[in-house]
Amino acid sequence: MVDLMPAQTHRWQAVEAVVRAHFGRSGFNEIRTPLLEVTELFARGIGEATDVVGKEMYSFQDRGDRSCTLRPEGTASVVRAAVQHGLLSQGPQKLWYVGPMFRYERPQAGRQRQFHQIGVEWLGVSSARSDAEVIVLAWDLLASLGVIGLDLQINSLGTTEDRQRYRDQLVAWLEARSDHLDADSRQRLTTNPLRILDSKNPQTQELLSEAPTLLDALCDDSAQRFEAVQSFLVAMGIPFSINERLVRGLDYYGHTAFEITSNQLGAQATVCGGGRYDGLVHQLGGPVTPSIGWALGMERLLLVLEAAAAADSDGFAARLTARKSPDIFIVNRGEQAETCALVLARQLRGAGLSVELDPSGAAFSKQFKRADRSGAAWAVIIGDQEAKADIMLLKSLQSDNIEHHLLLSDWESVLVILRD
Ligand code: ATP
Ligand code: MG
């Protein structure tokens, strides 16, 4: 688990601000659920046979002898909360969340044990158009952050019956070739055969290129639905490709599944993944509620943003992730001057400027160096002589020869000059 240090948090805040505004424009409301849930919620919601539940959860007995788990993902908790608070009787719900998730995995670049997701859940909609709208919500968020090199892949997992039929076909086909399968995949033949499709083993992948595909197993309605999703994406001009082997890691998905990957991330390429989960709400004790959602990995998003910022130093990503400099740096020395500077800093901050007040009392030359390093556009200089005369010097740090002598008591004139 990692600390987020001040050199990084400003980037996170910038991204979070864009995220909030983006969801606000699309009518999604934020929900905040606890980090801890009863283990059963995930076992039932995500599925016992998944990697997340089988191998990755942080679970423990609490003092009341209940099995608790640090949430490994957001959807099950959001659905639990929606059911528990009766949200679903109030019509469809457009929800989003951001926060830490916990999975016991092997840490590496873009993969941590505590990581953060931004996610959306749209509960109570079934149309193919809602699938397209939700996918575009993710796509446009990434685009609005200035991220480049994205690839959208979609697939349809069909209905439960489609998947059952396909599962039987696939198992029969793979069983006849099981000596070519890796050990992990052979085990999945009985527990979770669809997951074999996204095995990372190259030999297994090669074998699978000949295997029957999910899309061929879809019934007519499912196939038409998938066509419709695609036509909406085409209408919005969103580039995508179909990946017949895209199955998502959690058991609750059906019909549309999708992933957005980046060519900047190496092995951990998936930035965002999601899909439709029409059975989950009912399974967790709520009314039958068709739903769709996605989750995006914040750490991976930051990696792609940093790559975009490095590729184009004037681009949006670079500006977004740049550290903000103070508007004004106050150079001050001498007893009376330091009091005046303290008062002035408070006045200017109160008026909405960001102000760095040098606290050191060091020589002016040292303070000037710090002012330059701070990146501030302006410096205010106050020595005891100035303080006695109720004067400050406002000096541009970006162009030579621009300076103003101003009255300390008339500090608001600073605002007028900075506004111009
Ligand atoms: P992966 O195949 O990379 O393990 P996943 O299918 O387990 O991903 P999801 O459960 O769909 O991932 O979560 C959605 C997103 O959350 C992922 O696309 C990724 O960006 C991010 N994510 C998942 N697990 C981690 C992790 N351990 N560390 C950092 N980000 C993660
Ligand atoms: Mg995973």
Average pLDDT estimate for 356-373: 97
Encoded tokens for 376 = 């501030």
Q: Specify the length of the chain in residues.
A: 420
For position 265, what pLDDT does the model report?
Answer: 85
Confidence at 266, pLDDT banded by 50, 70, 90 = confident
Average pLDDT, the chain: 94
Give the mean pLDDT of 356-385.
97
- Residue 363: pLDDT over 90: yes
Query: pLDDT digit string (tens) for 42-91?
Result: 999 888 878 899 899 999 999 999 999 999 999 999 999 999 999 999 99
Residue 406 clears pLDDT 70, i.e. is over it: yes
3 state SS for the chain:
CCCCCHHHHHHHHHHHHHHHHHHHHCCCEECCCCCEEEHHHHHHHHCCCCHHHHHCCEEEECCCCCEEEECCCCHHHHHHHHHHCCHHHHCCEEEEEEEEEECCCCCECCECCEEEEEEEEEECCCCHHHHHHHHHHHHHHHHHCCCCCEEEEEEECCCHHHHHHHHHHHHHHHHCCHHHCCHHHHHHHHHCHHHHHHCCCHHHHHHHCCCCCHHHHCCHHHHHHHHHHHHHHHHCCCCCEECCCCCCCCCCCEEEEEEEEECCCCCCCEEEEEEECCCHHHHCCCCCCCEEEEEEEHHHHHHHHHHHHHHCCCCHHHHHHCCCCCCEEEEEECHHHHHHHHHHHHHHHHCCCCEEECCCCCCHHHHHHHHHHHCCCEEEEEEHHHHHCCEEEEEECCCCCCEEEEEHHHCHHHHHHHHC
Amino acid identity at 302: L
Position 130 scores a pLDDT of 98
Matching residue, tokens 């840490």: 107
At residue 251, does pLDDT exceed 80?
no
Nearest CA to ligand 1 atom 6: 249
Give residue-wise pLDDT tens across range 82-108: 999 999 999 999 999 999 999 999 999
- The best mutation among 4, 52, 112, 115 to test binding of ligand 1, ranked by most ligand atoms within 8 Å of the C-beta, falls on 115
| Residue found by looking up tokens 């710090």 in the block | 370
> Is the per-residue pLDDT at 133 higher than 90?
yes
Which of 117-126, 167-176, 345-354 shows the lowest per-residue confidence on average (mean pLDDT)?
Answer: 167-176
Is the minimum distance from the CB of 272 to ligand 1 under 6 angstroms?
Answer: yes
Is the CB of 105 inside a 6 Å radius of any atom of ligand 1? yes
Ligand 2 centre distance from Cα of residue 404 (Å):
59
What pLDDT is attached to residue 249? 64
What was the pLDDT predicted at 178?
87
Confidence of residue 184 (pLDDT cuts 50, 70, 90): confident
- Average pLDDT, integer, range 135-162: 94
Q: Which ligand is nearest to the CA of 251?
A: 1
Average pLDDT rounded to a whole number, residues 199-227: 93
Cα 96 from Cα 134, distance rounded (Å): 11
Residues 232-249, mean pLDDT to the nearest whole number:
93
- Taking 70 as the threshold, does the pLDDT of residue 267 lie above it? yes
- Tell me, what amino acid is at 47? G
- The predicted structure's pLDDT at residue 338: 98
The tokens of 77 are what?
Answer: 């908790």
Q: Please list the residues that pair with 59 across neighbouring strands.
A: 69
Q: Which atom of ligand 1 is nearest to the CA of 249?
A: 6
Phi, psi of 286 (to 5 degrees): -100, 180
Residue 263 to residue 311: CA distance in whole angstroms: 13
Residue 253 has pLDDT above 90, yes or no: no
Q: In this predicted structure, what is the pLDDT of residue 191?
A: 85
Per-residue model confidence (pLDDT) at position 375: 96
> What pLDDT score was predicted for residue 199?
85
| Ligand 1 mean position, distance from CA 116 (Å) | 9
**Domains of the chain from N-terminus onward:** 6-158+218-319 (3.30.930.10), 328-419 (3.40.50.800)
